[in-house]
Amino acid sequence: MADMTQTQRNRRTVLTAGFIGNVVEWYDFALYGFFASVFSTIFFPAGDGTANLIAVYGIFAAGFVMRPLGSVLFGWLGDTLGRSRTMMISVALMAIPTFALGCLPVYDQVGLAAPIMLVFLRLVQGLSVGGEFSTSVVYLVETAPVERRGLSGSAANMGAVAGTALGSLMAMAMLNLLPEQAMQAWGWRIPYFLGGAIGVAALWLRRQLPCSPAFQAQEAHRTRNAPIMETLTRTRAQTLQATLFAAGYGVFYYITMVYFPNWVADHGAVNLDASMRMNTAALAMMLPVVPLAGVLGDKLMPRKWLVAVVMLVTAALAWPALVVARDGSLWTVGAIQFGLALLLALLLGGAPALFAQIFPARNRNTGYSISYALGMGIAGGATPMFATWLIKQTGMSLAPAALLAVAALIAAGAAAAMPERDRIALQGSGAGA
């Protein structure tokens, strides 16, 4: 009984550590997206508001451009140094720049040095994000019983959703509680100081995580230490499938949970404050759905078909959903936001274990990190900037709907092509290990 109690306690610690690390990562990235309008005025000279907003989203995307480099670095560390040790490094590289961003001077104080420093911090954070999410998912899935892989892996995305919700809540609170002048002068800094404090808590929780059994097993039989080469050669098919799926996944996530409030405020009849309230409520609704989707993949439906069906439904609904949101009332916009968030929650619950289990143990961390960073990082991170650019070039406010539909179709095809390995052991040396 004592051993069982200790095992349960250790399991809770593992899940909490994976959860809170992702809260830190996604809190900061979401907060930046929600403060895009504020940053476009305080970090750049006065001028073309649209051009400044595109520049702010460009810096947002620049952080994601670093993700492939971070994925190579942290994926290699995870496959050689160990998953738990790598998780300590990645969360530190997010927590420190998050606090530092809250201390940055603005354009009126230091001129062009302000956006340069902002870019530098975003690049460091992008490096961290390249390895944090995938490493934590791999660790959570590898340390879980086979019948709970989906539920365990979903803890990382629960952290991502919670972090995004917290970022939205903090941005909304600052915008509502402070006058515009105070918000631009110092109010925007407070959420970043809070993010630094959450990062310290994540570091404390991760200080003594046990080693992954799958990592220990593959280390005992490793004949060479080349997980990057393995990813690009022996598992290149899995890497391509995962990258294409992650690209559609990223476009969906960033249009729905980051870009949508600003889009509705610019092109619909609902102001930014109200749309952000709906966004926060939708994120809160997603939290219980994400683990339920993980259980659905564990018990009732193969994970690959779960996520493929969700993507097909998303592709079909993208255009009519944004038409209704553009022309509708607050409650109509809220209904669309909740519907898209529900579909996204099913992906967030089903996809993590699917990603982890298609790669062998010897390069699982690297394969997951590279494909996720290339897809989610490059395609997902560039989505707000690209969607804004598409609207400006085409003159069509619904251009993001076409982008979402195409991305979702590509992701559905990639998921359908993935091997089905829901019940295959993760420790061995075979392709599904």
How many angstroms separate the CA atoms of 215 and 428, rounded? 10
Tens digits of residue pLDDT in 158-170: 988 888 778 878 8
Q: Mean pLDDT throughout 309-331?
A: 93
Q: Determine the structural domain holding residue 166 and report its residue range.
A: 8-212+225-417
Q: Is 92 a domain residue?
A: yes
pLDDT band at 417 (very low <50, low <70, confident <90, very high): very high
Q: Is 428 a domain residue?
A: no
How many angstroms separate the CA atoms of 409 and 386, rounded? 18
Q: What is the pLDDT of residue 4?
A: 46
Q: Is 422 a domain residue?
A: no
Tens digits of residue pLDDT in 206-235: 887 887 777 777 766 665 667 888 888 888
pLDDT at 409 exceeding the cut of 80 = yes
Q: Is 123 a domain residue?
A: yes
Q: Which of 133-142, 298-307, 408-417 has the highest mean pLDDT?
A: 408-417
More confident residue, 281 or 433: 281
- Rounded to 5°, the CA angle 348-213-206 comes to 65
DSSP string, 123-157: HHHHHHHHHHHHHHHHHHHHTS-GGGHHHHHHHHH
Tens digits of residue pLDDT in 177-202: 888 788 878 888 999 999 889 988 88
Q: Per the structure, how many domains does the chain have?
A: 1
Q: Is 249 a domain residue?
A: yes
266-287 as b/e: b if 16+ CB within 10 A: ebbebebebbbbbbbbbbebbe
pLDDT band at 244 (very low <50, low <70, confident <90, very high): very high
CB 287 within 8 A of CB 162: yes
364-391 as b/e: b if 16+ CB within 10 A: bbbbbbbbbbbbbbbbbbbbbbbbbbbb
Q: Is 181 a domain residue?
A: yes
pLDDT at 237 exceeding the cut of 70 = yes
Mean pLDDT of the chain, nearest integer: 84
pLDDT at 130 exceeding the cut of 80 = no
Amino acid letter, 188? W
How many angstroms separate the CA atoms of 67 and 123, rounded? 9
Q: What is the pLDDT of residue 7?
A: 59
Q: Is 63 a domain residue?
A: yes
More confident residue, 274 or 45: 274
Q: Is 396 a domain residue?
A: yes
Q: Mean pLDDT throughout 125-142?
A: 83
29: domain CATH number?
1.20.1250.20
Q: What is the pLDDT of residue 26?
A: 79
First to last CA, the chain: 31
3-state secondary structure of 106: coil
Sign of CA dihedral 106, 108, 113, 115: positive
Give the rounded percent of residues in the chain with a pLDDT score beyond 70: 91
pLDDT at 338 exceeding the cut of 90 = yes
